[in-house]
Amino acid sequence: MDDIRYVMGQNIRLFRRSKGVTQEKLAEMVNVSGSYIGYLERGKKSPSIDLLIKIAGVLKVDPAILLTSNEKKTNQELKKLIILLSDKGPEPIRFLNEVAKAYFKSLGPERPITK
């Protein structure tokens, strides 16, 4: 399993970049230095729980997702979907949820889901 600091740092970088936010801007928004964000992203430092929650809030993700490993390809794809949906309101998310349910139901119980 990946070191949790490394995993968290990679996730912060992934979500930060997906939002088009620089390290400096993120640092400003959570009241730390840009170099500290760099240390976090490289897995060299560990943030406090409060700081992790602030970073997650700025990036519009659940703090737990920042601690989720990328070991499985499925997790990477799920994170991409979360990034896509993270700044959307409840209606588009509800709609896509219904579409996904209908899609999986249409596959039937005997058809396996393939990539």
Write down all domains in the chain, each with its CATH number in brackets: 4-107 (1.10.260.40)
Highest mean pLDDT pick, 1-10, 24-33, 98-107: 24-33
User: Quick one: DSSP state of residue 64?
Assistant: G
Q: How many CB atoms lie within 10 A of CB 63?
A: 15
Q: What's the mean per-residue pLDDT of the chain? A: 87
Cα–Cα dist 55/26, whole Å: 8
7-62 confidence digits (pLDDT tens): 999 999 999 998 899 999 999 999 999 999 999 999 999 999 999 999 999 999 89
Q: Of all residues in the chain, what percent carry a pLDDT higher than 70?
A: 88
pLDDT > 70? residue 112: no
Q: How many CB atoms lie within 10 A of CB 114?
A: 5
Q: How many CB atoms lie within 10 A of CB 14?
A: 20
Cα–Cα dist 42/35, whole Å: 11
Cα–Cα dist 114/94, whole Å: 24
Please report which confidence band the pLDDT of residue 88 belongs to, taking 50, 70 and 90 as the band edges. confident
